[in-house]
Structure 1
Amino acid sequence: MKYKILIVDDEKDLRDLISYFLLREHFEVQTAENGKDAFEKVQTWNPNLVISDIRMPIWDGFELLRKLSANALKTPVMFISGYVGGDEEVLKNDPNCVGFIPKPVTKTELVRLVKEQQSRQAHA
């Protein structure tokens, strides 16, 4: 069974780029453009990992993580963001948050972090 990754970002070009990188590595990928859409997809598609932007309209990354935790959905979330600020500590304290990918994202770093997470989950 393929490792399933949900990409969440309000910037279509970035969603498409990340999807392209991960599809080339033979991951199964779906996308969502905000946290609310992502939450619905997590419930129906059950991805192994969510890669989400922090700052988005409708539901941002904070709200997505709160909703996942409140509904006992143990889906790991890796955040991708150009935003650097103290609020990241709130995210880091949530057990579903498994890391951060800085923008601008590089294929090498993205794939490395995703494969590390895949390996951790396989050995858990």
Structure 2
Amino acid sequence: MKHKILIVDDEQDLRDLISYFLTRANYEVALAENGCVGYEKVQTWKPNLVISDIRMPVCDGFELLKRLTDTPENDTPVMFISGYVGGDEEELRKNPHCVGFIPKPVNRAELLEMVKQALPA
């Protein structure tokens, strides 16, 4: 069975690039353009991992993580991708759902290795 990964990012080009990398590595992928849409997809699609940007209009990564944390039956791990790695990390890192950070620009090998480590074998 393929692992399911939801990519949440407001930049379509980045969503498409990450989707391409993950699909080629034999993962099932779904996309969302902000945290609100991402949260709804988590509820219906039940991914094994969420990869989310931090800074997005409408509903950002902080709001997505808060909603996931406030949903008792949800234990979906979240990996954040951001060009602003540094200041936001500490607050997000404290949350048990947060399993890591991927810096922009995305490196294919690094992304795949981090995803592999975040998912159960």
Q: Secondary structure at the match of 2:87?
A: coil
1:10 CA drift (Å): 0.2
- Aligned: 1:83 with 2:118: no
- Aligned: 1:3 with 2:3: yes
1:116 CA drift (Å): 1.0
1:117 CA drift (Å): 1.1
Percent pairwise identity: 68
The two structures have a TM-score, normalised by structure 2, of 0.96
Structure 1 residue ranges without an equivalent (≥5)? none
The alignment covers a number of residue pairs equal to 120
1:87 CA drift (Å): 2.6
- Aligned: 1:58 with 2:58: yes
1:88 CA drift (Å): 1.7
CA distance in 1, matches of 2:97, 2:106: 21
RMSD: 0.8
Amino acid aligned to 1:52: S
- Aligned: 1:67 with 2:70: no
Q: How does 1:14-29 map to 2 (within 5 A)?
A: 14-29=14-29
CA distance in 1, matches of 2:85, 2:16: 23
CA distance in 2, matches of 1:61, 1:100: 12
Runs of 4+ in structure 1 off by over 6 angstroms are: none
Q: Secondary structure at the match of 2:55?
A: coil
